[in-house]
Amino acid sequence: MTASPELRPFRSLAWRLIRRIALLALLCMLLVGGLHAALDYRSSLASFRSLMHVIGTTSVPPLSAALWEVEPELIREQVERLAALPEVAQVRVRMALDEPIQAGRVAVDEAEPPAVSLPIGPPPGLGGGPLGLLDIWGDTRHFGEVALHRAVRIVAGYGLFIVMVCVIVAWVLRRELQVPLQQIARFAAQLQPNELSRPLILERRVRPSVDEIDMVSQGFRQLQHDLSGHIDRLDLLVAERTEQLASALDEVKRLSLTDTLTGCPNRRSLDERLPRELERCRRYGRSLSVIFADVDHFKRVNDTFGHVAGDQVLREVAARLREQLRERIDWMARYGGEEFVIVLPETRLPAALQIADRLRQLVRNRPIDADGAQVHVTSSFGVAEYRGGDEAADQLLARADAMLYQAKAEGRDRVCPAL
């Protein structure tokens, strides 16, 4: 499994490229140096053989004269002079009757053939057969040392050239690759979500053309622009979705607090809102009255005309009661079944009684068109005024409800106040 980038050590890309370039250059140097050394060896070997032949040829005339005049010391001097040459290992002059004269710096194997073997004839103008034989062995060690020194110089030259090239390439890579990439990496690491509009500026000289670093920089700027636009669109989308969600929540809350049949606030809304109304009355010393309303004999309406007609009757009664209330001051809630609670802020008991009686007459005097049938209904009302102090909402409603039951007990179609 590959380790994550955070756990792996940092290695400069420029340094990695330099190492690879140096390794490849070294391999090329060895290959070219070896080939050059092999060719140079062959050339040097041919030159060595040619040199041995030249040395031998130039040495034959003096030896010929010395052999003709039979001067051994002169022959030995000439042999030692030849043996003193750095290219020569051994020199031997073989004569027909005398022992051979031999000299040299390096011992050679007698079985090894000489590099040059030349007959020594008589001096010019004198006839006769060969006087002797000149054998010369080359110093292969000296030849190897010369070839090695030349190979070392060649390799050293190539090595120096490679070092200079690597230094120049390292400088160019650092300037043109490593420094811009480090700038991009630092910019990306320090970039914050709220800084996407901050431009990426590379410290590079202006060029007449665009290279890969410029393309990476342009791609990064394009990515910033796209991300910024995407985030803006996301913000708008989130704001839009939030608004839709808030609207949906408001609608859910409204539906949870609204009676679906009559459109009035329901019992839950009454339980939440009435205590706040009473708290306001206590704080500012204001009055408030509550009317408990009930449709008389509603079960009889359902049994006679059906539940659909009964629902229409409830909707119409609620609409008539709501029409008589003060806008944005009074409010009404469906308590349950055919019962309604009307809350009258800033209203004392006498005024509340008048309102209740007007509502009673409005329900009684006009029939309701329910599913094609004309239905006459009446309603009963219990009225109570808030006493202040520690009276709670359920206590106030209980007093108004008690008056409603009293109105029903007294024959319905009437209003009973809690005195």
Consecutive H or E run containing 199:
none
Q: What letter would DSSP give residue 128?
A: -
CA distance 341 to 290: 7
Q: From the CB of residue 318, how many other CB atoms can be counted at a distance below 10 Å?
A: 21
According to DSSP H, which parts of 174-211 are helical? 179-190
Q: Scanning the structure block, which residue is given the tokens 């480090």? A: 182
d(CA 113, CA 116): 9
3-state secondary structure of 157: helix
The DSSP output letter for 197 is T
Active site residue 80: no
In the chain, the amino acid numbered 202 is L
103's torsion region: left (phi>0), alpha (psi -120 to 50) or beta?
beta
Nearest to 281 by CA among 270, 289, 271: 289
Q: Which two tokens stand for residue 313?
A: 């009757």
Give Cβ neighbours of residue 285 (< 8 Å, ≥ 6 apart).
388
Task: List strands edge to edge, sheet with 331-336.
Answer: 331-336, 339-345, 288-295, 379-385, 415-417
- Residue burial 191-207, b: 16+ Cβ < 10 Å; e: rest: eeeeebeeebeeeeeee
Gyration radius of the chain over CA positions: 63
Neighbour count for residue 46 (Cβ, 10 Å): 10
Quickly count: other Cβ atoms within 10 Å of residue 47's Cβ. 12
Q: Provide the strand spans (E) within 8-112.
A: 88-95, 101-104
- Dmax (CA) of the chain: 183
- Which tokens go with 248? 């949906």
The letter for the amino acid at 217 is S
Q: Report which residue type is found at 172.
A: V
Tell me which H or E stretch contains 196.
none
How far apart are alpha carbons 338 and 379 in whole angstroms? Answer: 10
Active-site residue identified among 338, 346, 385, 391: 338
Residues involved in catalysis: 338
